[in-house]
Amino acid sequence: MTSQTRPRLLEVKNLRKYFPIQKGFFKKTLGNVRAVDDVSFYVEEGETLGLVGESGCGKTTTSRCVMRAIAPSSGQLLFRTGEGEVVDLAVLDRAALRPLRPQMQMIFQDPYSSLSPRMNLFEIVGEPLLVNGMTNRKERTDRVAEMLQLVGLRPEYMQRFPHAFSGGQRQRIGIARALSLHPRLVVADEPVSALDVSVQAQILNLLLDLQERLHLTYIFVAHNLGVVKHICDRVAVMYVGKLVEMAHTGELFHRPRHPYTAALMAAVPVADPRVQSGDTELKGEVPSPANPPSGCYFHPRCAYAEEVCRTRPPDFREISRGHFVSCHRADEIDLPGISLA
């Protein structure tokens, strides 16, 4: 599961994405929303990295920067291409990105709004193939049929339109479309949060299964910690545009080192009435990334905050092998985790 020699498919270094706040006719810039603020992480080939955090924490912006759907303000996005060379996606322009696009694809959150109602399955799943030069219709039909089978849909459905399918089936269509070009990196942005509980498990199993068969690397963006724990090898936790902790899944859940991670885990209601959970000591709300607090962004809500937390922002440092945390007091405090069954 965790071989030490796996090469890094993606290395993100000091990624920043600021959105200017403009006002007036001359669009004077009044300040910046620091949606992503100095984020560094890596993804090894074949693994699943979970990106978790509450709404507005910058997880979606981070994934959109990685996909180069938007251009980062600064930082490096080092991507190892299929040919083995390392390129910095952050500095490439549209034309230079194009040949790399098939290698990185995205699975979207809402299967109802992410599929065009006017295109049938053949057009939806075949469009990326056509755009990337597969002009032979027969060839395309074969590939679409193969993709549909891969995600558990019948190839006969090719002529149907998305409205004929349920939420879970639509998400399968979205997955078939994303995988049709054989990508190496797949960013899944909340792929199951819009689905019913009984269908979520089917999609999660499919994602795990496809990863094994096609040697995919996932960045899995989610807010549901149960889902994240189930599917991810490693997890990175974000808070107000910054990474606060990153570690192997088991370690992170068993022994969180950042008070925010621990609070997040304690807040999840467990589906067992005999286990007291779903409570939080956290007061107040997530601060705005346009006007973050001084020092550590978490200090106004943190039970362990000291003077240094108010004044100096903590570094994102490696506290033990593969376990990164940005907290001044990570060495002193002992936080409760969730034991692995």
Chain contacts with other proteins (rule: CB under 8 A): 1, 54-55, 166-169, 196-202, 204-205, 208-209, 223, 225-227, 229-233, 249-250, 253, 263-280, 282, 285-286, 338-341
- Which lies closer to other proteins via its Cβ, residue 80 or residue 323? 323
Minimum gap (Å) between residue 75 Cβ and other proteins: 26
**Cα–chain center distance at 322:** 19
Select 291 or 339, whichever has its Cβ closest to other proteins: 339
Smallest gap, in angstroms, from Cβ of residue 169 to other proteins? 7
Distance CA 81, CA 5 (A): 18
Distance CA 117, CA 2 (A): 42
CA gap 335, 194 in Å, rounded: 32
Q: How far is the CB of 107 from other proteins (least distance, A)?
A: 17
> How far is Cα 179 from Cα 265, in angstroms, rounded to an integer?
32
Q: How near is the Cβ of 32 to other proteins at its closest, in Å?
A: 20
Nearer to other proteins, 77 or 233 (CB): 233
Nearer to other proteins, 90 or 153 (CB): 153
| CB nearer other proteins, residue 147 or residue 206 | 206
Least distance from other proteins to the Cβ atom of residue 225, Å: 5
Please write down the long-range contacts of 21-25, taking CB distance under 8 Å and 24 or more positions apart: 21/290
Decide whether 102 or 241 has the Cβ nearer to other proteins: 241
Q: How far is the CB of 128 from other proteins (least distance, A)?
A: 26
Which DSSP state fits 158?
G
- Distance, CA of 327 to chain centre: 22
| Buried-exposed string 273-295: b where 16+ CB fall within 10 A, e elsewhere | eeeeeeeeebeeebbebeebeeb
